[in-house]
Structure 1
Amino acid sequence: MNEPLKRQVAVITGGARGIGRGIALTLAKAGADILIADLLEDAMRETAQDVRALGRRVSTLKVDVTKAEMHRAMVRQALDQLGGLDILVNCAGVISIHPVDALSERDWDFVMDVNAKGTFLGCQAALEHMKAQHKGRIINVASIAGKEGFPNLAHYSASKFAVVGFTNALAKEVARDGITVNAICPGIVRTYMWDRLSDEWKAEGESVEDSWARHQLTLIPQGRAQTPEDMGRMALFFATMDNVTGQSVNVDGGFTFH
């Protein structure tokens, strides 16, 4: 069996479901042991069972990614229980849907804190160990909304634009430390976020399922949605490439071009 990540340890925030789960299982299949950090304890247990079924060691930790001390605890647990930290995937994210003139300061802060600040804190917590071992792979999950704005998602787009810019800047800071930093920009993936968007953007008389099908056909040149497993394969690429850094790559079926 080809296991390019054998004996490596990957920490994944937001790893309990959706894209994070897809990345966790893909990296586990490639040989990595996994620490899942999330707030959804039942979903964490389920994903952890699936990682164990692949023959990998797994650890779980309830983490609020807006809290620096929780990121530090996450890194300590990876080192103590799994013996290392080679790959960090910052995948935890949230969304809300509001036009700017109805967007509350609280909604703005919540989305920015989880999506942008959470990514920063995760990277900061991992850097000391990765610099000491002169090796590491950091993979941030941004969005095509980090490349192109969408109506009623200005705050979400702002948070993901921030992740894209932060990724590029950090990559340049740590390029001589043996650490690569890249971002995945998912397109339309059937997660709870897109269920909310499909409901918000459905036409008159249209069901959520009809809205979901229409958006795939009208927005994606390939005509089909992307999957968590697609994002996992992109994460595996970043995790195994020594000379790719500072990039934010769209996995979106041709939706965007930049």
Structure 2
Amino acid sequence: MNEPLSGQVAVITGGARGIGRGIALTLARAGADILIADLLEEPMRETAKEIQALGRRASTLKVDVTRAEAHADMVAQALGQLGGLDILVNCAGVITIRPVEELSEQDWDFVMNVNAKGTFLGCKAALAHMKAKGRGRIINVASIAGKEGFPNLAHYSASKFAVVGFTNALAKEVARDGITVNAICPGIVRTYMWDRLADEWKTEGESVEDSWARHQLTLIPQGRAQTPEDMGRMALFFATMDNVTGQSVNVDGGFTFH
């Protein structure tokens, strides 16, 4: 059995469901032990059981990614319970949907704090250990909305543009330390977020399911949605490549080209 990540430990924020769960299971199948850091306790436990069923160790920790001390606890648990920290995946993310004129400071701060600040704090917490070890893989989950703006999502796009820029800058800072830093930019993935968007963007008389189908057909050249497992395979690519860093790669069925 090919297990390129055998003996490695991956920490995944937002790993309880959706894209984070897809990444967690893919890395576990490749041999990694997994720490899931999330706020959703029951989904965390269920995903941990799935990882253990694959023969890997799994640990869970309730984490608010907007707090620096929570990230310190996350790193400490990875080291204490699983014996290391080789791969960090910053996947925790939130969304609200409003035009700028109706956007409150609270909306702005909520989205920016989780999506952008949470990514920064996760990276900062992991760097000392990875530098001391002389090796590490950091994978940030951005979005195609981090490369192209979308109406009523200006704050979300801003947070994901920030993740893309931060990823590139940090990669250059730590390039001589054996640490790579890359970002995945998912396209349309059927998660809780996209269910909300399909509901928000449905036309008169259209169901959420109809809206979901229409967006796949009209926005994606391949005509089909991407999956959490697609994002997992890209994460595995980044986790196993020594000479790929500073990149933000779209996994979007041809939706965007930059």
Q: TM-score, normalised by structure 2?
A: 1.00
Moved over 4 A (4+): none
Residue 67 of structure 2 corresponds to: 67
Residue 12 of structure 1 corresponds to: 12
Letter in 1 for 2:85: L
Q: Does 1:184 align with 2:184?
A: yes
Residue 160 of structure 1 corresponds to: 160
Distance 2:195 2:80 in 1: 38
Task: Summarize the alignment of residues 107-186 of structure 1 with structure 2, pairs less than 5 Å apart.
Answer: 107-186=107-186
Compute the displacement of 1:16 (Å): 0.1
Compute the displacement of 1:65 (Å): 0.1
Distance 2:171 2:17 in 1: 27
Distance 1:71 1:28 in 2: 21
Distance 1:128 1:98 in 2: 38
Task: Summarize the alignment of residues 26-45 of structure 1 with structure 2, pairs less than 5 Å apart.
Answer: 26-45=26-45
Root-mean-square deviation (CA, aligned residues, Å) is 0.2
Percent identity of the aligned residues?
A: 89
Q: Does 1:210 align with 2:210?
A: yes
Distance 1:11 1:254 in 2: 29
Unaligned runs of 5+ in 1: none
Task: Summarize the alignment of residues 94-109 of structure 1 with structure 2, pairs less than 5 Å apart.
Answer: 94-109=94-109
Letter in 2 for 1:226: Q
Distance 2:248 2:32 in 1: 23
Distance 2:136 2:95 in 1: 29
Distance 1:17 1:150 in 2: 24
Aligned length: 258
Residue 234 of structure 2 corresponds to: 234
Letter in 1 for 2:212: W
Compute the displacement of 1:218 (Å): 0.2
Compute the displacement of 1:66 (Å): 0.1
Distance 2:201 2:129 in 1: 44
Distance 2:60 2:45 in 1: 8
Q: TM-score, normalised by structure 1?
A: 1.00
Residue 24 of structure 1 corresponds to: 24
Cα deviation, 1:165-215, whole Å, max 9, x if unaligned, reads 000000000000000000000000000000000000001000000000000
